[in-house]
């Protein structure tokens, strides 16, 4: 092939795309990173639950120390409203310093973008891809810059990490859950003591994550109710939350930073195709139950970087290389998708037989330390943990 302008173009500079670029920084490959969704992220209210295994990846990328302060999750209490059965997952019992950590999406996104500055890669904020032509030899992109000018970029490989929009949107198929997530930060009379709560209700899962002195809330419910909760009076919101969650944290006293996000399972029709690979939300967008989405995305980025780093430059983007990556990710990806989709479906029904079966399953998990250890390792490190 003719000499390309760069070896790898990364479409998307959020956490997944930024992590891929940073993981390739010492590889010697010529990188271009297009920020296809460039916009200020300071107002993004979404909380992140990063698994312990994700912390290890971020340490390798020299990002972790700059994210401080983060709040450790020392335990996870799982229960269902209106039914028996509960289980407590404990970091000490799993021989881990923490089961996970809570921080804002906006902080991680801003940090990865900041690290892209400099002369080690070509960072193009505000760029958008207008056309992609992939052949057996190269992928050629028509790119519109932030100022409106057009540019042609020829590369060996296109890595799409734009969150399932832009370059990835038309390659995705979606299953609408008919739900939306309300996110917020809430204060309570009793301290959380580092415990996260996953409470399954007939409307959907409700998670409270330790976040500083307060708790980060992810409350899944019907879209109409979610919109009403996000904009309604504070006393009504707190009363509804109290009814749905119960009294384990005492009385809820304040709420701030409310937001709403529609929920759907989105899957790439094929994560790899000619000269193109999709990672993170561009490959799969998951239900927020169990908080697996970003953790899976960062494992995508890390393992793609490993495959690229070991391949000869001339082999980048070739079918054999793409198949190796897809094979490495198949089990982890299928496990996370199946786990979260199954939980979203099984725990969003109030049928008595299902409620009873869920109770027995939670009770059995609580009584089996090996089963709890297996679950914690899968949630912390993925299928290869």
- What's the pLDDT score for residue 166? 54
Tell me the C-alpha to C-alpha distance, in Å, between residue 99 and each of 91, 162, 224, 345: 5, 28, 33, 24
State which H helix or E strand residue 28 sits in: none
Question: Which positions ≥6 away from 269 have C-beta within 8 Å?
Answer: 171, 172, 173
Of 60-74, 132-146, 156-170, 337-351, where does mean pLDDT reach its minimum? 156-170
CA distance 231 to 15: 29
Give the pLDDT score at 164: 58
Q: What gap in Å lies between CA 152 and CA 6, rounded to an integer?
A: 11
Within a 10 A sphere around the Cβ of 258, how many other Cβ atoms? Answer: 20
Calpha distance 137→156 (Å, rounded) = 7
Query: Whole-angstrom Cα distance, residue 187 to residue 196?
Result: 14
pLDDT tens per residue, range 290-305: 899 999 999 999 999 9
pLDDT at 306: 97
pLDDT (mean) for 185-195: 98
Beta bridge partners of 255: 186
Q: Is the pLDDT of residue 38 over 70?
A: no
State how far the Cα of 363 lies from the Cα of 341, in Å rounded to an integer: 21
Is the pLDDT at 169 greater than 60, yes or no? Answer: no
Closest by CA to 16, choosing from 143, 149, 136, 164, is 164
Number of alpha carbons in the 13 Å side-chain half-sphere of residue 257: 18
Question: What length does the chain have?
Answer: 385
pLDDT in tens, 210-233: 999 999 999 999 999 999 999 999
Beta strands (DSSP E) in the chain are 6-11, 31-35, 47-51, 71-73, 75-80, 86-90, 100-104, 122-125, 128-134, 139-144, 150-160, 172-188, 195-201, 204-211, 214-221, 252-268, 272-273, 276-278, 284-285
* DSSP 8-state code for residue 4: P
CA proximity to 220, closest of 160, 302, 291, 136: 291
**Rounded Cα gap, residues 169 and 36, in angstroms:** 12
Lowest mean pLDDT, pick from 95-99, 244-248, 338-342, 357-361: 357-361
**pTM of the full structure:** 0.93
pLDDT score for 277: 97
Give the pLDDT mean for 313-337: 96
- Residues 6 or more apart whose Cβ sits within 8 Å of residue 153: 5, 6, 9, 32, 140, 141, 143
For domain 6-42+106-172+265-344, the CATH architecture is: 3-Layer(bba) Sandwich (3.50)
- Residue 261 has a pLDDT of 94
Q: What is the pLDDT of residue 42?
A: 47
Domain boundaries defined on the chain = 6-42+106-172+265-344
């Amino acid at each position: 092939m003719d000499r390309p302008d760069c070896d790898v173009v990364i479409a998307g500079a959020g956490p997944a795309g930024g992590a891929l670029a940073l993981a390739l920084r010492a590889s010697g490959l010529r990188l271009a990173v297009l920020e296809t969704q460039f916009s200020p992220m300071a107002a993004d209210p979404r909380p992140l639950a990063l698994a312990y295994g994700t912390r290890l990846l971020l340490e390798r990328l020299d990002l972790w120390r700059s994210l401080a302060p983060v709040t450790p999750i020392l335990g996870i209490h799982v229960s269902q409203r209106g039914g028996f059965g509960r289980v407590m997952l404990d970091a000490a019992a799993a021989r881990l310093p923490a089961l996970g950590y809570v921080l804002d999406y906006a902080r991680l996104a801003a940090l990865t973008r900041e690290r892209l500055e400099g002369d080690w890669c070509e960072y193009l904020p505000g760029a958008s891809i207008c056309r992609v032509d992939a052949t057996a030899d190269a992928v050629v992109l028509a790119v519109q810059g932030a100022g409106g000018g057009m540019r042609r970029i020829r590369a060996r490989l296109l890595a799409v990490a734009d969150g399932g929009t832009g370059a990835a949107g038309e390659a995705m198929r979606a299953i609408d859950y008919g739900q939306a997530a309300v996110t917020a930060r809430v204060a309570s009379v009793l301290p959380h003591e580092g415990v996260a709560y996953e409470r399954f209700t007939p409307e959907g899962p409700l998670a409270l994550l330790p976040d500083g002195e307060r708790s980060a809330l992810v409350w899944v419910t019907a879209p109409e109710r979610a919109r009403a909760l996000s904009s309604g009076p504070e006393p009504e919101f707190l009363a509804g939350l109290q009814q749905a969650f119960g009294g384990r944290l005492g009385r809820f006293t304040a709420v701030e930073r409310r937001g709403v996000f529609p929920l759907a399972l989105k899957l790439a029709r094929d994560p790899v195709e000619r000269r193109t690979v999709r990672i993170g939300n561009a490959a799969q967008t998951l239900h927020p139950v169990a908080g697996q989405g970003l953790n899976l995305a960062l494992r995508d980025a890390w393992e793609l970087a490993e495959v690229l780093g070991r391949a000869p430059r001339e082999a980048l983007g070739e079918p054999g290389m793409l198949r190796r990556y897809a094979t490495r990710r198949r089990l982890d990806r299928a496990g996370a998708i199946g786990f979260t989709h199954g939980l979203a479906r099984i725990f969003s029904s109030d049928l008595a037989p299902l409620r009873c079966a869920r109770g027995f399953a939670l009770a059995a998990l609580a009584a089996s330390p090996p089963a709890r250890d297996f679950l914690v390792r899968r949630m912390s490190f993925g299928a290869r943990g």
